[in-house]
Amino acid sequence: DTGVSQNPRHKITKRGQNVTFRCDPISEHNRLYWYRQTLGQGPEFLTYFQNEAQLEKSRLLSDRFSAERPKGSFSTLEIQRTEQGDSAMYLCASSFPSFHQETQYFGPGTRLLVL
What is the DSSP annotation of 4-66?
A: -EEE-SEEEE-TT--EEEEEE--TT--EEEEEEE-TTS--EEEEEEETTEEEEE-TTS-TTEE
Distance CA 80, CA 65 (A): 6
Query: Where on the chain is the footprint of another protein (CB under 8 A)?
Result: 4, 6, 31, 33, 35, 40-45, 48, 56, 58, 91, 95, 97, 100-109, 111
Nearest approach, Cβ of residue 18 and another protein (Å)? 24
Decide whether 4 or 77 has the Cβ nearer to another protein: 4
Kindly state the smallest distance separating residue 85's Cβ from another protein, in Å.
Answer: 18
CB of 62 to another protein, least distance (A): 17
